[in-house]
Amino acid sequence: MTKRLILGNRSGQYGLWVAKNGKDAMSSNPADFVFQMGYRAARPFAKGTLSAMPRTYFASAGVAIGATYTFTFNHGLGYAPLFFASVYPRAVGGVGTLGVVNAGAYYYDTVGALADAASLNIYVNVKHWSSSGGFNPPLSLSIRPVSWTIYREPA
């Protein structure tokens, strides 16, 4: 039977090693382990989801239609952290189709997400294109959820 767990001395090193089922905890292959001492586990610092945001949300936030809205979370970690951020249906950096309401295509452009030592910012640009031109999303237009997770780990 393979040894799957070592707590204590392993070839002169003290610690904990937990091997995968069928693997030996003395293995030198890091892929054989569920956990071993040498590798860090970055843990979440904060996470959140901003649900559907109708046009009125942007209006109340004082954002001109067609302009970029910035979602900011002040983490205060003192370093730019590892993070994930997405806006359904596209991850940061693309144009997602939001749907068609009557005639014309309505969409938003997720400009991107960017972190610094103080905050995480997610930039979303709301647009509406019609044959007459210009931006004018209807009140029914909603941005799909924006979600993000920040880890206690420098990026």
Partner 1 sequence: MTKRVILGRLPSGNYGLLISKPGYDVTTNPVDNERLLFSSDWTETVPIFQSGSFTSSSSPTTITFPTLGFVPFVLFYKTNGYLDINGGGTRVYGTSFINLSAGFSISIADGSFTFPAASGHNISYKVLLVRAK
105 binds partner 1 (CB under 8 A): no
Q: Which is nearer to partner 1, 53 or 150 (CB)?
A: 150
Q: Which is nearer to partner 1, 48 or 93 (CB)?
A: 93
Q: What letter represents residue 66's amino acid? A: G
Rounded-to-integer distance, Cα 124 and Cα 114, Å: 12
Give the shortest CB-102-to-partner 1 separation in angstroms.
25
Give the shortest CB-63-to-partner 1 separation in angstroms.
11
Total binding residues for partner 1 by CB under 8 A?
Answer: 41
Rounded-to-integer distance, Cα 69 and Cα 116, Å: 18
Residue 92 CB-half CA count within 13 A: 17
Tokens for 22? Answer: 């069928």
Strands 68-74 and 81-87: unpaired
Give the shortest CB-109-to-partner 1 separation in angstroms.
9
113 in Cβ contact with 121 (< 8 Å): yes
146 binds partner 1 (CB under 8 A): no
Rounded-to-integer distance, Cα 11 and Cα 91, Å: 45
139 binds partner 1 (CB under 8 A): no
Among 2, 3, 26, 37, binds partner 1 (CB under 8 A): 37
Residue 70: how many other CB atoms lie within 10 Å:
14
89 binds partner 1 (CB under 8 A): no
Residues that bind partner 1 (CB under 8 A): 7, 14-16, 29-32, 35, 37, 39-44, 67-68, 70, 80, 82, 85, 91-94, 111-116, 121, 123, 125, 149, 151-155
